[in-house]
Structure formats: C-alpha cells, structure tokens
C-alpha cells in the first residue's frame, strides 16, 4: 500500500510538472507574441500609408520594442544554470548593511509615489551566508513590486530577525495585497494575479520566480503573507552558516 501510494504521488507530480512546462511555454509564446504583433502591425501600417510615421506612432513602436527587450532580459535572469550555481561563492556577509544599501538605492523610486520606506535595523548587524549581487537583485525585485502594488502615500517597512539557523529579512507593504487563492502561485514563472492590470504596470510575472530561484541558489528560501486591501509581507530567510 505504501509503495502504491508513493507511485501515485510520483505519477501525480510528473503530470503536474508536464502541465507546468506546457503552461510555461504557452506563456512565453504569448508574452513574446503580443508586443511582436503590435510592432508588426505598426510597421505594416507605415508601409501601406495607413498610418503616418509620426513621432507619437514611432514612440508606440519603441515602447513595444522596449517591452520585448525587458522580457528577454527577465528570461535571462531567470535561470542560474548549474555552472553559475557552482561558481557562486557564498560568503558570510553583513546582511543588514547590504539590504539597507540596496533599499536606499530604491528609496527615490518609492518617493515618486510618496511611499515612505522605513528600515528597522537591529542594534548589532546580522550576518548570513549570501552573495552580494544576488542579495541586491532579490531586494530590488521585492521593493519594485512594493512600489508597483502599493498606492500613493503607502508605507514599506523592512525588518530583520535572527533565529538559531536563519536570518530573516521581512519586506512589508501597505499595498493592494494578494487573494489567498492566488498566493500559492505567485512564485511561479509568468503568474500574474491580474494580467490586464500588471500589463499596464509593465510586469511580466517573472520577478518573484527570480526571487525564489536566487534565494534557493543561496541555500535560503522565501515566503509570503498577505491580506487583500491591507498589504503583503515577503520574508527572505538566509542561512547563518553552512
């Protein structure tokens, strides 16, 4: 019976994986096709004299091209291959310091929406196993999301805590929050709670998948708590030592 159950579980997870892969390729094609189609139709309209190649029309084509470019960049950032993973030299780093530095870099962006950023640093710095570049990418991804999904005059709070084995960095916002039904999927590639809304904010649904991947590459993990209309709290857990 135990063996049978294990077999069933395995079959189930294989089916799940192939379903995920199918969704992923479908999503990539869809994401690439949309801007491409727009660019193509503009160019055809210019060629056929239906549309004048005026500045504003050309701007629209450029915008679509930029979107394609961003998508390709995001895709590149998504996979740390095994080589990179091995080349990754995890070091004991002053995490509080690194996170604060990166957050300060993003403060001006938050200020554009009058969002206040508060960083509650512990009295003594926490250090953990990490890679400087990856920490920067993880923090910037979370803060850019906080910016995108928090209304004007909101608040973002960064706090630190330390357990026996892990250091936790929490990034909380007073944004729109995420419905419980969507929460399990937001770390999946290309998953967006509201595709039409995130299209307007330029999201491609890859940011959190990158965060998860990078945290795992550092031997850590990420989780989230969220309440619709109240806000979200993303927590990054870093290993204190090997």
Contacting residues toward ligand ADP, per CB under 6 A: 145-146, 148-149, 173, 175-178, 186, 191-193, 198, 203-209, 232
Q: How far is the CB of 126 from ligand ADP (least distance, A)?
A: 23
Helix (H) or strand (E) holding 235: strand 231-239
DSSP state letters, 68-101? HHHHHHHHHHH---HHHHHH---EEEEHHHHHHH
Q: How far is the CB of 199 from ligand ADP (least distance, A)?
A: 9
Residue 35 or 203 having the CB closest to ligand ADP: 203
Three-state SS for 165?
coil
Residue 122 or 195 having the CB closest to ligand ADP: 195
Three-state SS for 18?
helix
Q: How far is the CB of 52 from ligand ADP (least distance, A)?
A: 34
Beta pairing, strands 116-120 & 155-162:
parallel
Q: How far is the CB of 229 from ligand ADP (least distance, A)?
A: 11
Q: How far is the CB of 30 from ligand ADP (least distance, A)?
A: 14
Distances (CA, A) of 89 to 145, 190, 202, 217, 220: 28, 29, 33, 11, 14
Q: How far is the CB of 120 from ligand ADP (least distance, A)?
A: 18
Distances (CA, A) of 71 to 138, 140, 142, 214: 18, 17, 18, 18
Residue 130 or 148 having the CB closest to ligand ADP: 148
As a whole number of angstroms, the distance between CA 178 and CA 228 comes to 5
As a whole number of angstroms, the distance between CA 28 and CA 190 comes to 8
Residue 12 or 202 having the CB closest to ligand ADP: 202
Residue 9 or 227 having the CB closest to ligand ADP: 227
Give the number of residues written for the chain. 242
Residue 29 or 201 having the CB closest to ligand ADP: 201
């Amino acid at each position: 019976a135990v063996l049978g159950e294990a077999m069933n579980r395995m079959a189930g997870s294989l089916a799940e994986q192939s379903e995920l892969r199918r969704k992923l390729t479908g999503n990539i094609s869809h994401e690439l096709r949309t801007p491409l189609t727009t660019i193509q139709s503009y160019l055809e309209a210019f060629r056929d004299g239906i549309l004048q190649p005026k500045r504003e029309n050309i701007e629209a084509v450029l915008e679509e091209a930029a979107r394609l470019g961003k998508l390709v960049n995001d895709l590149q950032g998504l996979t740390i291959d095994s080589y990179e993973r091995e080349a990754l030299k995890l070091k004991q780093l002053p995490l509080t310091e690194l996170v604060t530095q990166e957050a300060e870099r993003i403060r001006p962006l938050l200020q554009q929406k009058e969002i206040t950023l508060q960083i509650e640093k512990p009295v003594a710095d926490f250090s953990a196993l990490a890679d400087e570049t990856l920490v920067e990418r993880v923090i910037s991804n979370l803060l850019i999301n906080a910016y995108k999904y928090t209304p004007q005059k909101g608040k973002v709070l960064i706090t630190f805590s330390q357990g026996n084995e892990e250091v936790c960095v929490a990034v909380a916002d007073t944004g729109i929050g995420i419905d419980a039904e969507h929460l399990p999927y937001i770390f999946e590639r290309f998953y967006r709670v509201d595709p039409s809304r995130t299209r307007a904010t330029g999201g491609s649904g890859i940011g959190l998948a990158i965060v998860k991947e990078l945290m795992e590459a550092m031997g850590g993990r990420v989780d989230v708590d969220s309440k619709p209309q109240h806000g979200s709290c993303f927590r990054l857990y870093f290993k204190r030592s090997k």
